[in-house]
């Protein structure tokens, strides 16, 4: 007797396969089981999605059999399959693509015997539990932390922990996790962070705090792991051995059969949005997943619901609006830990650069403030969101600029290895001896990046000394300085141990670090984002500057003197005014008012259709044809969806490919979803038109984070 099964596999992009394929099997297999099946000439990993009564429309010649099941791995749960199904349909991607991308890559390569070996090793490791756990030291909760936790316990909705930088949000996450884990031996907690490398402290804190749960109870899941580590972490999560999973956005799709709490730290961070393939928002999926895991738990009792807590000092306007409308519950922690001891927020100083000497890197008053800190043995942090030495190299004789040959962008001058590098496509060359166009040997850097800033700060401070008479130490942290494995950890350690006096860097240094001795933070050129065409640019800038300010004065004794300096040509801009008052709420109200008036998210719902081709015209032709098809077919939901004209993407050419986009907007999420589902299959048809055959690729981005 044979059985028929719907099995999900990763089909090639833009193939017409969007759902499961039907296979025959000699044994009964349950939904969720991992199998290997033939696909074309290959054998691939698949997930059994459903049993079926017959072969459906398959002819005898088309019928194929399951090659084998991956014994020893429990089937993926119905909840996991629902989550994957929702993700695929909401973000308009093939089911197989989403399902398989959510599994560790090594699982795709292992055959049955390789897997058996791996599982044995895994089982052995998990039985080697050691030592009687010690009770980890926990701080006494502050009053507002205790209050936030009480409110969370009784909340019946997703919660947003709106806590100032340094208010102790992490401790709240840990206590909420403890609460869940101690009541239920099967319970699992997922804690998501934007980037794990930036928070090595958190990982060790989790290990310490949850040591009592045994070895292997805390695992990390992120893309920086080796394939073997990733498989190991995934298996630990899937088997329930891992009780606490610390992960980046990809972890939201991990198999977690006992999931009872999801924490999304720094929920406003754009890196929660995946930027290729299925462009999901891990924050939004966290909300959906918690809802799903609660709804389907067998008893509707307290113990089996799944809670979700988002946390931020500067929440995304989407989440803030959800609090205002009552969909989320807000938990407020306005004060820093130790506020009664004087741990106040830093004083914000705006320097009008129009009043300063022309071309000054650091305004004289800022320089004086830095010197004061150095004399007192305190640390400072200077932030510039551009790496490299200079963003452009130019010839003033003929106007040549270091344009990338393949992108609509300039190549950045890196002085250390004397290269011109494209930060988009990676195209790198040694700096030419003279201008490639006219031969002029005097080609010069224009603008400033962190590499140059470090050099200039070193010069400006060279006459100064530390209290012990030794020379001032300036260090730089950015993507260039931390390329080597372990470099970031080493550099952060130097800051923590006080070896560094002045730290220069990109936004890498502004996020999350618990630096204890920094009393001055300076943003030296934030103006660029004030007038961006992306409507989210002000929200981003505000969050970034608030985060940066949050690095100053985290130690109570010094905070009376903690300052955040901002160099700007627009000191009266409302954004800076709100920053000066640490007034996120005022800023949010202002921005939401603007968004509402303009009908922008979160008051409307958006998607982008993007196309790539050898010429801009062709890319736009595709988008226009897509719009015409939609109009001609009068697609369901279309009456409530507005299509904007096709335009070049902000980075119009990337790696020799021209890119264009078209915005879709609707006041109704269901209408937009309905419309896209009907539209997507027609887009595949479009490429059959001779004129559009050479379009390279196209994709929908639902709820895009940058426009
Ligand atoms: P946030 O994430 O809100 O910016 P953190 O969680 O980093 O703040 O906490 C700031 C600092 O306060 C950390 O050094 C943390 O160890 C400390 N802290 C947190 N809660 C307490 C508490 N209840 N008592 C003493 N120190 C605390
Ligand atoms: Zn020239
Ligand atoms: Zn390039």
- For 600-638, how does the pLDDT look when each residue is reduced to its tens digit (9 = 90+)? 999 999 999 999 999 999 999 999 999 999 999 999 999
Question: Taking the mean position of all CA atoms in its chain, how far away is CA 579?
Answer: 24
pLDDT level of residue 82 (50, 70, 90 thresholds): very high
pLDDT level of residue 131 (50, 70, 90 thresholds): very low
Fill in the DSSP letter of residue 410.
B
Q: Distances in Å between the alpha carbon of 435 and those of 408, 418, 421?
A: 20, 15, 16
| Nearest ligand 1 atom to alpha carbon 145 | 23
Q: Are 2 and 24 contacting, i.e. CB atoms less than 8 angstroms apart?
A: yes
- Which pLDDT score is estimated for 531? 84
- Which pLDDT score is estimated for 126? 59
Question: Does the pLDDT of residue 386 top 90, yes or no?
Answer: yes
Return the closest-CA partner of residue 33 out of 105, 118, 99: 99
Distance 137 CA to ligand 1 centre (A): 14
Return the closest-CA partner of residue 290 out of 185, 165, 176, 183: 176
Residue nearest to atom 20 of ligand 1 (CA): 168
- Which pLDDT score is estimated for 417? 92
Predicted structure pTM score: 0.93
Q: Which residues contact residue 454 at a Cβ distance below 8 angstroms, ignoring those fewer than 6 apart?
A: 474, 475, 476, 504
Distance 387 CA to ligand 2 centre (A): 25
- Which pLDDT score is estimated for 129? 47
Distance 405 CA to ligand 3 centre (A): 6
3-state secondary structure of 666: strand
648 CB burial (10 A radius; 0-12, 13-18, 19+): middle
CB atoms within 10 A of CB 312: 24
Ranking 253-267, 285-299, 421-435, 555-569 by mean pLDDT, the lowest is 555-569
DSSP letters, 475-511, are EEESTTTT-STTHHHHHHHHHHTT--SEEEESGGGTS
Question: Does the pLDDT of residue 118 top 90, yes or no?
Answer: no
Ranking 156-160, 487-491, 503-507 by mean pLDDT, the lowest is 487-491
Give the pLDDT confidence of 544-599 residue by residue, as tens digits.
Answer: 999 999 888 877 565 457 999 999 999 999 999 999 999 999 999 999 999 999 99
Segment 275-300 shows an average pLDDT of 86
- Which pLDDT score is estimated for 560? 58
| Nearest ligand 1 atom to alpha carbon 170 | 6
Question: Does the pLDDT of residue 190 top 90, yes or no?
Answer: yes
Mean pLDDT (the chain, rounded): 91
Instruction: Answer yes or no: is the C-beta of 145 below 6 A from any ligand 1 atom.
Output: yes
| CA–CA separation, 34 and 234 (whole Å) | 14
pLDDT level of residue 130 (50, 70, 90 thresholds): very low
Instruction: Answer yes or no: is the C-beta of 208 below 6 A from any ligand 1 atom.
Output: no
Mutate to test the pocket of ligand 1, among 171, 172, 553 (most ligand atoms within 8 A of CB): 171
Segment 147-152 shows an average pLDDT of 98
3-state secondary structure of 552: coil
- Which pLDDT score is estimated for 301? 53
Instruction: Answer yes or no: is the C-beta of 556 below 6 A from any ligand 1 atom.
Output: no
E-strand ranges in 132-217 read: 159-163, 188-192
Per-position b or e across 14-30, b if 16+ CB within 10 A of its CB: eeebbebbbbebeeebe
Distance 408 CA to ligand 3 centre (A): 7
Count CA atoms within 13 Å of residue 650 on its CB side: 8
Q: For residue 553, give the ligand nearest its CA.
A: 1
Q: What pairs with residue 24 in β-bridges?
A: 4, 65
When comparing pLDDT for 10 and 641, which is higher? 641
3-state secondary structure of 27: coil
Q: Can you list the pairs that 179-184 forms with residues at least 24 positions away whose Cβ atoms lie under 8 Å?
A: 179/149, 179/153, 180/260, 180/261, 180/307, 181/210, 181/213, 181/243, 181/244, 183/303, 184/258, 184/260, 184/303
Q: For residue 437, give the ligand nearest its CA.
A: 2
Distance 127 CA to ligand 2 centre (A): 69
- Which pLDDT score is estimated for 297? 54
Segment 253-264 shows an average pLDDT of 97
E-strand ranges in 483-602 read: 502-505, 518-523, 563-568
Count CA atoms within 13 Å of residue 367 on its CB side: 16
Distance 77 CA to ligand 1 centre (A): 37
Instruction: Answer yes or no: is the C-beta of 163 below 6 A from any ligand 1 atom.
Output: yes
Count CA atoms within 13 Å of residue 694 on its CB side: 9
Give the pLDDT confidence of 322-356 residue by residue, as tens digits.
Answer: 999 999 999 999 998 887 665 678 899 999 999 99
Give the pLDDT confidence of 208-233 residue by residue, as tens digits.
Answer: 999 889 888 999 999 889 999 999 99
Instruction: Answer yes or no: is the C-beta of 547 below 6 A from any ligand 1 atom.
Output: no
Sign of CA dihedral 698, 699, 700, 706: negative
pLDDT level of residue 518 (50, 70, 90 thresholds): very high
Sign of CA dihedral 312, 315, 318, 321: positive
Mutate to test the pocket of ligand 1, among 170, 191, 584 (most ligand atoms within 8 A of CB): 170
Distance 338 CA to ligand 1 centre (A): 9
| Nearest ligand 1 atom to alpha carbon 167 | 3
Distance 427 CA to ligand 3 centre (A): 5
Give the pLDDT confidence of 265-274 residue by residue, as tens digits.
Answer: 999 999 999 9
Residue nearest to atom 12 of ligand 1 (CA): 168
| Nearest ligand 1 atom to alpha carbon 265 | 2
DSSP letters, 311-366, are EESS--HHHHHHHHTTSSEEEEE-SPTTGGGT-PPPEEEEEEGGGSPTT-SS-HHH
Distance 168 CA to ligand 1 centre (A): 4
pLDDT level of residue 14 (50, 70, 90 thresholds): low
Q: Are 370 and 381 contacting, i.e. CB atoms less than 8 angstroms apart?
A: no
């Amino acid at each position: 007797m044979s059985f028929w099964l719907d099995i999900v596999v990763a089909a090639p992009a833009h193939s017409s396969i969007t759902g499961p394929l039907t296979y025959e099997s000699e044994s009964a297999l349950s939904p969720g089981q991992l199998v290997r099946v033939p696909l074309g000439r290959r054998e691939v990993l698949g997930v059994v999605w459903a049993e079926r009564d017959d072969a459906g429309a398959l002819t005898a010649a088309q019928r194929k059999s399951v090659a084998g099941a991956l014994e020893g791995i429990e089937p993926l749960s119905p909840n996991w399959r629902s989550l994957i199904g929702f993700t695929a349909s909401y973000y308009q991607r093939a089911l197989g693509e989403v399902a398989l991308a959510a599994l560790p890559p090594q699982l795709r390569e292992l055959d049955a015997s390789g897997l058996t070996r791996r599982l044995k090793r895994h089982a052995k490791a998990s039985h080697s539990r050691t030592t009687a756990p010690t009770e980890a030291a926990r701080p006494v909760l502050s009053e507002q932390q205790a209050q936030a936790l009480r409110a969370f316990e009784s909340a019946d909705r997703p919660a947003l922990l709106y806590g100032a930088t340094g208010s102790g949000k992490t401790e709240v996450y840990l206590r909420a996790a403890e609460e869940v884990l101690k009541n239920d031996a099967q319970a699992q907690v997922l804690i998501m962070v934007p980037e794990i490398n930036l928070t090595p402290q958190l990982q060790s804190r989790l290990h310490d705090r949850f040591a009592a749960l045994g070895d292997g109870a805390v695992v990390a899941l992120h893309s920086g792991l080796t394939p073997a580590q990733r498989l190991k972490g995934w298996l630990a999560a899937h088997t329930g051995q891992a009780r606490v999973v610390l992960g980046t956005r990809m972890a939201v799709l991990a198999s977690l059969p006992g999931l009872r709490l999801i924490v999304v730290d720094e929920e406003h961070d754009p890196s929660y949005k995946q930027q290729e393939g299925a462009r999901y928002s891990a924050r939004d999926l966290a909300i959906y997943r918690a809802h799903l895991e609660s709804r389907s738990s067998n008893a509707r009792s307290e113990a089996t619901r799944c809670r979700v807590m988002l946390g931020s000092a500067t929440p995304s306007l989407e989440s803030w609006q959800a609090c205002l409308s009552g969909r989320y519950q807000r938990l407020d922690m306005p004060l820093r830990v130790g506020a009664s001891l004087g741990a106040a927020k830093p004083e914000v100083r705006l320097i009008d650069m129009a009043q300063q000497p022309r071309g000054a890197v650091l305004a004289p008053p800022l320089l004086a403030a830095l010197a004061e800190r150095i004399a007192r043995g305190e640390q400072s942090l200077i932030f510039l969101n551009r790496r490299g030495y200079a963003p452009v190299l130019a010839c003033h004789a003929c106007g040549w600029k270091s344009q990338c040959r393949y992108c609509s962008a300039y190549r950045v001058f890196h002085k250390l290895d004397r290269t011109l590098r494209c930060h988009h496509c990676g195209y790198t060359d040694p700096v030419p001896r003279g201008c490639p166009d006219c031969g002029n040997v005097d080609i010069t850097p224009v603008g400033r990046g962190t590499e140059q800033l470090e050099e200039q700060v070193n010069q400006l401070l060279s006459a100064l000394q530390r209290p012990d008479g030794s020379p001032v130490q300036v260090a730089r942290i950015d993507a260039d300085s931390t390329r080597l494995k372990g470099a970031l950890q080493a550099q952060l350690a130097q800051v923590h141990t006080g070896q560094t006096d002045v730290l220069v860097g990109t936004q890498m240094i502004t996020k999350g670090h618990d630096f204890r001795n920094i009393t001055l933070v300076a943003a030296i050129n934030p103006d660029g984002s004030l007038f961006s065409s992306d409507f989210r640019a002000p929200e981003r800038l505000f969050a970034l500057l608030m985060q940066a300010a949050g690095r100053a004065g985290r130690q109570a004794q010094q905070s009376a003197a903690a300052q955040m300096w901002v160099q700007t040509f627009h000191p009266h801009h409302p954004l800076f005014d709100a920053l000066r008052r640490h007034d996120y709420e005022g800023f949010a109200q202002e921005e939401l008012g603007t968004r509402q008036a303009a009908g922008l998210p979160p008051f409307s719902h958006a998607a982008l259709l993007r196309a790539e081709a050898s010429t801009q015209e062709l890319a736009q032709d595709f988008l226009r044809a897509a719009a015409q098809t939609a109009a001609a077919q009068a697609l369901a939901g279309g009456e409530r969806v507005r299509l904007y004209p096709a335009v070049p993407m902000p980075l119009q050419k990337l790696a020799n490919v021209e890119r264009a986009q078209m915005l879709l907007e609707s006041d109704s999420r269901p209408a937009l979803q309905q419309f896209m589902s009907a539209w997507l299959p027609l887009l595949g048809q479009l490429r059959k038109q001779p004129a559009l055959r050479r379009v390279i690729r196209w994709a929908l981005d639902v709820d895009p984070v940058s426009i």
